[in-house]
Amino acid sequence: MPRGMTTGDMEAHIQDIYGISVSDSTVSRITDKILPVAKEWQQRPLESIYAVVFLDAIHYHVRSEGQIVKKAVYIAIGIDLDGRKDLKALMADLKAVYAAVDEQAALAALDTFAERWDRKYPKISRSWRDNWTNLSTCFKYPQEVRRLIYTTNTIEGFNRQLRKVTKAKSVFPTDDSTPLWLVPSLRESKSAAGA
C-alpha cells in the first residue's frame, strides 16, 4: 500500500464506492491488484475516431521527494461514433427538460425522459430528481441566461464527481496512489452511465 494511505482511508473508500466492508488484509490485497489494473486501464487502446472529445485536467496535491506539489490528472472523455447516435437522442430528450418554458413543463419532460431512458440509463432521471431543488433554480432566469447555464460542458460534471471521490484526501502520498483512488471511480462511472 502506498505510504501515507491508511487502511482506514482505503476501507472507507471501498465502503463508499462499492458498499462493502473489508478487513485490513483484504485492503492490502486489493491495493496490490488495483495498481496494475489502473495502469492497464490508462494504457488501453482507444478508438481510431471519436465524434466528440472533451479535454481537461484536475489538480491534486501529491507528496513528491519530501514535498507536497500540485500535479495534474489529465482527463479525456471521448464519445465514439456509435455512442453518439444514442447520446444524441438522449441529449435531445434531456434538452426538453432543461430548455422547457417553465418548471412544470420541465417536470413533465423529465417524466417523459424517464419513461424512454430509465431502462438503459436509470441514474440520469434519478439524479435529476435528487437534485431538482438546485437544478430548477434556472427557471427563475430569462431564457437567454438559462441557455448560458445549461451549456456548461460535460467535463465540469465529471470533475465534480472526481472531487467528490477525493474530497477526504488532501494530499496523495505518491503519483501511484492517485490512480488507486481515481481509476475505480472512473470505471464505475463509465459502467453506471451505461457505456
- Is 4 a residue whose pLDDT tops 50? no
Q: What is the pLDDT of residues 73-109, one digit of tens each?
A: 877 777 776 766 566 778 879 889 988 999 999 999 9
Q: Are 186 and 159 in contact (CB under 8 A)?
A: no
Which of 93, 159, 105, 92 is CA-nearest to residue 136? 105
Query: DSSP string of 169-180?
Result: -S-BSSTTHHHH
Q: Are 113 and 125 in contact (CB under 8 A)?
A: yes
Residue 53 identity: V
- Is 3 a residue whose pLDDT tops 50? no
Q: Tally Cβ neighbours within 10 Å of residue 26.
A: 15
Q: For residues 4-33, give the mean pLDDT.
A: 77
Q: What is the pLDDT of residues 129-163, one digit of tens each?
A: 999 998 888 888 888 777 656 655 566 777 888 88
Q: Where are the domains of the chain?
A: 81-150
**pLDDT averaged over the chain?**
78
pTM for this prediction: 0.43
Task: Give the three cell numbers for residue 19.
Answer: 458498499
- Choice among 26-40, 52-66, 174-188 with the minimum mean pLDDT: 174-188
